[in-house]
Amino acid sequence: MEKKKIYLCLAHMTEAGLEGKYIQEAFDTNWVVPLGPNVDAFEKDLEAFVNKSLLDKRVVALSSGTAAVHLALLASGVEAGDEVLVQSFTFCATSNPVAYLGAKPVFIDSESDSWNMDPALLEEAIRDRIAKTGRKPKAIVPVTLYGMPYDVDRIMAIAEHYDIPVIEDTAEAFGSCWKGRALGTFGRFGVLSFNGNKMITTSGGGALICKDDSERQHILWLATQARESYPYYQHDAIGYNYRLSNICAGIGRGQMTVVNDHIAHHKHVYETYREGLKGLDGIEVHGNPDKRYDSNFWLNTITLDPNVHVKGQEEAYKTQPARSDCEPNDNVEALRTWLDARGIEARPLWKPMHKQPIHKDALAYLNGVSQSLFQVGLCLPSGPCVSDEDLNFIIQTIIEAIG
């Protein structure tokens, strides 16, 4: 029998098929539009989830996490020509919306324990930009890479000191906490994503956590073509068509009934990798730096010391010569192809934005951390479809590769 491929993180529907039930309800009541009962109920579920520590944040469901970043920047007053301080070590959806607005991303490197925005570099960048341009950057966008919190206390203290709004890109961190409180509830806005590979899915979708109802109303207005309440169509501002479909929200309602199971599973996968790989010199599973951090372990990641020998590493880039000036090390590429040949998907870490050709002219405040991590890191299968049997197989396959 052919073995099934083990993917990083595939969508996983409820056993009871609740997603289908909510979608059917939408059809039966003819709410086949980007608003309706599923959207309202999904937003209530999301609010209950992020407000567990007695907060009163409001949530707007949107068509994607990228749309959420875009609207958060817009509502923070980012305009063409403005500078926005963005974590460099991330997926392009964090910084692309800065470009949509004609603004300029200024990239900030990471610290080595959380892998997220380095507070010292952030402060240096703020001071330097004010000194050189006479203007403050318009927003700060830290990211919670692979679900790991950034140092919320230090980043928020700096943001408050300079009075610059924070947009938390917590697209990967649904269910992660900082000192017991949900990520995405600390900044002016928090971004969520429900793409097919995230902690829960709506097939495609996202949301913005807002600090209060008036902020929520403003985002809602922007997301629905900035329509004024007239009997006819009257527009005083440019809007967007970014609301979540009532069909997709039905999937989200079903998924919210198993979100805690998903999070528990991702954490179990982390524990299993940590146990299984702990005897191996030079291989490290990325974990919470200390007790304040509570990652959802959306994707589990390992780093490989350059001294670890992986079978076939001499051939790693022979068939496919270097495609850019910054690639994972030979042993990392060899481990990736070794796993791939055995039906296991593994992927390099996000390539830092300051190393991307599209951003070659962007300003960046660097310490080398994100580039070094990119060269030594790999993401391993972590999603709800990955069984204990799969995990044992993955761990054994890694051990064979370096044996």
Interface with ligand PLP (CB under 6 A): 64-66, 90-91, 93-94, 143, 169, 171-172, 193, 195, 206
- In the complex with ligand PLP, the residue whose CB is nearer, 184 or 206, is 206
Q: Which amino acid is at 198?
A: K
Place of tokens 């289908």: 20
**What 8-state DSSP symbol labels residue 2?**
P
One-character DSSP codes across 205-232:
-EEEEESSHHHHHHHHHHHBTTB-SSSS
- Alpha-carbon distances, residue 242 vs 34, 61, 220, 232 (angstroms): 9, 9, 9, 21
Pick the closer one to ligand PLP by CB: 71 or 280.
71
Q: Which is nearer to ligand PLP, 94 or 370 (CB)?
A: 94
Q: Least Å distance between CB 206 and ligand PLP?
A: 4
Q: Is 252 helix (H, G, I), strand (E, B) or coil?
A: helix
Question: Closest approach of Cβ 128 to ligand PLP, in Å?
Answer: 25
Between 200 and 308, whose beta carbon lies closer to ligand PLP?
200
CA distance 122 to 164: 12
Residue type (1 letter), 168:
E
Residue with tokens 């909510």: 22
Cα angle value 38/43/48 (rounded, 5°): 125
Nearer to ligand PLP, 140 or 310 (CB): 140
- Count CA atoms within 13 Å of residue 272 on its CB side: 22
User: Shortest gap between Cβ of 72 and ligand PLP (angstroms)?
Assistant: 11
CB of 70 to ligand PLP, least distance (A): 9
Which residue number, 174 or 293, has a Cβ lying nearer to ligand PLP?
174
Sign of the Cα torsion 160, 82, 358, 207 reads positive
| Residue tagged 């060899």 (tokens) | 334
Determine contact, residues 169/148, Cβ cutoff 8 Å. Answer: no
Collapsing DSSP to helix, strand or coil, 254 comes out as helix
Query: 65 or 175, CB closer to ligand PLP?
Result: 65
Q: Which residue is nearest to ligand PLP (CB)?
A: 65
Distance CA 387, CA 366 (A): 39
- Smallest gap from residue 47 Cβ to ligand PLP (A): 19
Nearer to ligand PLP, 107 or 338 (CB): 107
